[in-house]
Chains A and B, each alone.
Chain A
Amino acid sequence: MTQTRSLWEHGVKTGIIGGVAVLVIALVGMVESFHRRDIIAEVITMGQVLLLIGGVFIGYIAAKRTGSDESLAPGLNAVIGSSVTGGFLAFLVIVGRLINLRAVLVNASPMLYKLLTLGHKGVAGIFIILLIGMGCGVFAAALFYLPRLTRRVIILSLSSMIIAGVLQDLIRPVIAAWGPVAVVSEWLFTGNGLTVSGSISIVILIAVVMTAWALKGQDIKSGYGNLSGGSQRGIKISAFFMLAVVLLALPHILGLFLSEVLTIVGLYVLLGLGLNIVVGYAGMLDLGYVAFFAIGSYVTAVLTSPELGFFSLTFWQALPFAVVLGIFFGVLLGIPVLKMRGDYLAIATLGFGEIIRILVLSDFLRPWLGGAQGAGKIPKAAIMGYQFITPQQIYYLILAGCILVVFISLRLKGSRLGRAWMAMREDEDVAQAMGINLVATKLLAFATGAGFSALSGAIFASKLGSVYPHSFNVIISINILCLIIVGGMGSIPGVIVGAAALVGLPELLREFAEYRLLVYGAALVAMMILRPEGLWPEVRHKMELHAEEENNIGEPEPSTAT
């Protein structure tokens, strides 16, 4: 292979991959439907931003993969990569104008071409696409050559601006609710998108804050390290206190809709923490986890709903039964699958989940559970006259549940049982040979996980006021598993971050719900390639997967006994 060829190679290769990706994004209609929303009013839309980010990202990857000594090579490759990607889009426009692609590709509309060419007709439009592609490459190359700090500042401030634009519908009412501060919202946002001055000021603000932190952050950190144990503790306590205040005030700051989103995220956090014990701690792949959620919900319904008419307990009277029955079924599922591992366990639990859903749906149990119509009129929870009715009120109920479950998870992790789970996850036979009672340890994992899930289910039933079989689809189990993987297996903060990313974000971007699964899948694949340990990994997995990068963990310490 000649030197010149290898110089070009990475740019062209990456460009082709990127080109195909961008074509897919355009042809599934994402660009066009994102085009309806402006990021900066009348200047740039979300669809255009998506393409530009794609172009720059490809250029940057091309530059990074070059790995040549020649200093110009990465920049060259960046420009080539982005240009090739632009070329794919240009090609689409040319072909699309000559032949009507819409018979097969519904989204290959004249509107899309107009959007891509910025409304220019003929050859000029093609040139514009290529030019923009090249521009992305130049920008990517510039990013590549800039020092690390500057690069991070630029990327972060630009992405903050984009996020502010994407989430405008949420940020605006939140700011507007703050009385005098509402002026800021007027100044930042128009009816659709950021104002030009607003977006520039966001970029500048974030850039200044980031730079200041980068320059002074080290001082602050070492300053904190130099503080005495007592004052460090003081800072920790006050930080904790502030977090508590924020958590308590959150629903009032965020308003009704966002509080609703938070309650959904919270329910998934509860579920995630439960499954995290089974999958993350004990290493047993459970795909029927939604069953316990259903059991918790239905036990609550049967015990409280006057519509079913057996009992009319209050929520708090029904809750212990829901959790205990959840645990009972956890053990019940655990016993037959005790000897199963890996794939077999996954399939058996998957079956269990479906059995519960079908039972609930069946006519056989209809007189007790309500069949396909479900059961309604489940009373809301109440403590001493305070009723949890609106999302803002239910938020506190779920927050309390999450705090309880986080606390239990934390304590379990460091306990003897936690260590037994860890050993079992690593090697069942050896764990047994170390004196770990496999039967008890496995059943305890299933039981704990099921208990958390049933708790979540009980709150869910009271929140909705009704239960239906179709709320307990297998996709819920998959979602919970995904959020654990994305957050980081076995990591408690990871579950929270994962739930926010995989449950919260889609709720916020409901208007693009049709692309939810596409983005979901792409995000999972990207995560596995770029950050297999998860967004907020447990320390252990990070050590394992990045052992070469962090050699210092293996640094030998001076030995005392020889």
Chain B
Amino acid sequence: MAMLEVENVHAYYGKIHALKDISLNIDKGEIVTLIGANGAGKSSTLKTMSGLLRPRQGSVRLEGEDLTALRAHEIVTRGVIQVPEGRRIFGQLTVMENLDMGAFTCRDKQQIKTNIDKVFILFPRLQERRRQVAGTLSGGEQQMLAMGRALMANPQVLLLDEPSMGLAPVLVDSIFDTIRRLHKEGTTILLVEQNARMALQVASRGYVIQTGVVVLSDSAENLQKNEMVRKAYMGEN
């Protein structure tokens, strides 16, 4: 059974119809990717899952529980955690305080400690810089921090919004390594990416979105072979 299901979702920004009947599902322990051009509705789909955007029609369900009526901060307690686009770490807070904020919903101090250790094992860089003000970190470190912050909340499903955005190729590789590692540890991940080539390499399945509509959904392998995908999103002729 699917862990997270999005069913016939319609969402609007004012009068603009941003998502037109989007449906997708993610199984437990799976990496699913959502690819598409700028403004196609990738981030909007993600926002309907995390509750930052309320769908006008349709539903989002986590293990059968309807999330549509819940507010964003309540969805967090269900374990759907978003790493926002453009990192958006708390720039004035230290690395450690950022991680603490990630565990805001967790009141168990022991659990927080365990999670911090986990994050530091995953990103040793963050441990080195734990007292540094987060705004002074490099772009790659900030992405690590944004992911670490999300992991602090014990995610059932991790929603990653463009983790490779604005990073040097070397750093992109290392971020994707981390995604693979999280996958191996059993985390369920929805990966929104413009870098389709990288995304399809780590994902098991993918959805292609154009102007608010899912135009294609298949296994990652098939999508990599698909001519339309190769032309439109992987820059081949």
What mask results when residues 527 to 559 of chain A are scored 1 for a CB within 8 Å of chain B, else 0? 000000000000011011001000001101101
Contact (A435, B136) CB under 8 Å given A557-B131, A561-B117, A561-B127: no
Interface residues of B in 15-39 (CB under 8 A from A): none
- For A419, give its contact among B50, B101, B128, B129 (CB under 8 Å): B101
Nearest-Cβ distance from residue A468 to partner chain B, whole angstroms: 41
- For B76, give its contact among A426, A435, A541 (CB under 8 Å): A435
Which B residues are in CB contact (< 8 Å) with A426?
90-93
Question: A104 on the interface (CB 8 Å rule)?
Answer: no
Nearest-Cβ distance from residue A506 to partner chain B, whole angstroms: 32
Q: A541 CA to B135 CA in the complex, in Å?
A: 12
Asked whether, in the complex, the Cβ of B84 is within 8 Å of the Cβ of A423, the reply is no
Contact (A429, B88) CB under 8 Å given A419-B104, A436-B73, A437-B73: yes
Asked whether, in the complex, the Cβ of B88 is within 8 Å of the Cβ of A432, the reply is no
Q: A161 CA to B161 CA in the complex, in Å?
A: 62
Q: A311 CA to B45 CA in the complex, in Å?
A: 59
Q: A181 CA to B121 CA in the complex, in Å?
A: 67
Q: A414 CA to B133 CA in the complex, in Å?
A: 18
Contact (A434, B102) CB under 8 Å given A429-B52, A559-B128: yes
Please give me the residue from chain B that is nearest to A440 by CB atom: B73
Asked whether, in the complex, the Cβ of A556 is within 8 Å of the Cβ of B129, the reply is yes
Nearest-Cβ distance from residue B18 to partner chain A, whole angstroms: 17
| Prevailing SS type, chain A contact patch | helix
Asked whether, in the complex, the Cβ of A429 is within 8 Å of the Cβ of B128, the reply is no
Asked whether, in the complex, the Cβ of B52 is within 8 Å of the Cβ of A433, the reply is yes
Nearest-Cβ distance from residue B112 to partner chain A, whole angstroms: 12
Please give me the residue from chain B that is nearest to A416 by CB atom: B104
Interface residues of A in 394-437 (CB under 8 A from B): 416, 419-420, 422-423, 426-427, 429-437
Question: B7 on the interface (CB 8 Å rule)?
Answer: no
What mask results when residues 32 to 73 of chain B are scored 1 for a CB within 8 Å of chain A, else 0? 000000000000000000111000000000000000000111
Which A residues are in CB contact (< 8 Å) with B12?
none
Asked whether, in the complex, the Cβ of B133 is within 8 Å of the Cβ of A543, the reply is yes
Q: A554 CA to B128 CA in the complex, in Å?
A: 9
- For A432, give its contact among B73, B130, B135, B153 (CB under 8 Å): B73
Question: A28 on the interface (CB 8 Å rule)?
Answer: no
Which A residues are in CB contact (< 8 Å) with B73?
432, 434-438
Please give me the residue from chain A that is nearest to B71 by CB atom: A437
Which A residues are in CB contact (< 8 Å) with B101?
419, 423, 431, 434
Question: A218 on the interface (CB 8 Å rule)?
Answer: no
Could you say which interface size class chain B belongs to? 35 or more
Q: A302 CA to B16 CA in the complex, in Å?
A: 52
- For A435, give its contact among B97, B129, B153 (CB under 8 Å): B153
Contact (A433, B132) CB under 8 Å given A426-B93, A544-B92: no
Question: B176 on the interface (CB 8 Å rule)?
Answer: no
Q: Which of A423, A434, A557 has the most chain B CB within a 10 Å cutoff?
A: A434
Nearest-Cβ distance from residue B108 to partner chain A, whole angstroms: 13
Q: A543 CA to B132 CA in the complex, in Å?
A: 9
Asked whether, in the complex, the Cβ of A553 is within 8 Å of the Cβ of B76, the reply is no
Instruction: Please report the number of residue pairs spanning A and B whose Cβ atoms sit closer than 8 angstroms.
Output: 90
Interface residues of A in 102-141 (CB under 8 A from B): none
Q: A553 CA to B51 CA in the complex, in Å?
A: 37
Question: B82 on the interface (CB 8 Å rule)?
Answer: yes
Question: A562 on the interface (CB 8 Å rule)?
Answer: yes
Question: B233 on the interface (CB 8 Å rule)?
Answer: no
Asked whether, in the complex, the Cβ of B92 is within 8 Å of the Cβ of A423, the reply is no
Asked whether, in the complex, the Cβ of A432 is within 8 Å of the Cβ of B93, the reply is no
Q: A547 CA to B133 CA in the complex, in Å?
A: 9
Asked whether, in the complex, the Cβ of B76 is within 8 Å of the Cβ of A433, the reply is yes
Nearest-Cβ distance from residue B32 to partner chain A, whole angstroms: 20
Asked whether, in the complex, the Cβ of B84 is within 8 Å of the Cβ of A430, the reply is yes
- For B124, give its contact among A543, A557, A559 (CB under 8 Å): A559
Which B residues are in CB contact (< 8 Å) with A436?
73, 104
- For A544, give its contact among B72, B121, B129, B135 (CB under 8 Å): B135
Which A residues are in CB contact (< 8 Å) with B90?
422-423, 426-427, 430
Nearest-Cβ distance from residue A304 to partner chain B, whole angstroms: 42
Asked whether, in the complex, the Cβ of B77 is within 8 Å of the Cβ of A429, the reply is no
Please give me the residue from chain A that is nearest to B50 by CB atom: A433
Asked whether, in the complex, the Cβ of B129 is within 8 Å of the Cβ of A554, the reply is yes
Which A residues are in CB contact (< 8 Å) with B51?
432
Asked whether, in the complex, the Cβ of A429 is within 8 Å of the Cβ of B129, the reply is no
Interface residues of B in 155-201 (CB under 8 A from A): none
Asked whether, in the complex, the Cβ of B133 is within 8 Å of the Cβ of A432, the reply is no
Please give me the residue from chain A that is nearest to B100 by CB atom: A419
Interface residues of B in 96-129 (CB under 8 A from A): 97, 100-102, 104-105, 117, 120-121, 124, 127-129
Contact (A432, B91) CB under 8 Å given A544-B133, A554-B129: no
Which A residues are in CB contact (< 8 Å) with B124?
559, 561-562
Contact (A433, B72) CB under 8 Å given A419-B104, A554-B136: yes
Which B residues are in CB contact (< 8 Å) with A437?
71, 73
Q: A435 CA to B153 CA in the complex, in Å?
A: 9
Q: A431 CA to B102 CA in the complex, in Å?
A: 9
Asked whether, in the complex, the Cβ of B88 is within 8 Å of the Cβ of A430, the reply is yes
Nearest-Cβ distance from residue A159 to partner chain B, whole angstroms: 34
- For B133, give its contact among A422, A435, A553 (CB under 8 Å): A553
Q: A214 CA to B97 CA in the complex, in Å?
A: 36
Asked whether, in the complex, the Cβ of A435 is within 8 Å of the Cβ of B105, the reply is yes
Q: Which of A422, A431, A435, A556 has the most chain B CB within a 10 Å cutoff?
A: A435
Q: Which of A426, A543, A544, A560 has the most chain B CB within a 10 Å cutoff?
A: A426
Asked whether, in the complex, the Cβ of A432 is within 8 Å of the Cβ of B72, the reply is yes
Nearest-Cβ distance from residue B145 to partner chain A, whole angstroms: 12
Contact (A432, B52) CB under 8 Å given A427-B90, A544-B133: yes
Nearest-Cβ distance from residue A319 to partner chain B, whole angstroms: 34
Which A residues are in CB contact (< 8 Å) with B117?
561
Given A430-B90, A432-B52, A544-B92; 14 other pairs, CB 8 A cutoff: A419-B101, A429-B84, A432-B72, A434-B73, A434-B102, A435-B105, A437-B73, A540-B93, A547-B136, A554-B129, A557-B128, A557-B130, A559-B124, A561-B127
Sample (22) of A-B pairs whose CB atoms are under 8 Å apart = A419-B104, A420-B104, A422-B93, A426-B91, A426-B92, A429-B52, A430-B90, A432-B52, A434-B153, A435-B105, A437-B71, A540-B93, A540-B133, A541-B92, A543-B133, A547-B133, A553-B131, A556-B128, A557-B130, A559-B128, A561-B120, A561-B121
Residue positions of A touching B, CB distance < 8 A: 416, 419-420, 422-423, 426-427, 429-438, 540-541, 543-544, 547, 553-554, 556-557, 559-562
Residue positions of B touching A, CB distance < 8 A: 50-52, 71-73, 76-77, 81-82, 84, 88, 90-93, 97, 100-102, 104-105, 117, 120-121, 124, 127-133, 135-136, 149, 153
- 8 closest cross-chain pairs (CB), A and B: A435-B76, A435-B105, A556-B128, A554-B132, A426-B90, A432-B72, A437-B73, A435-B73
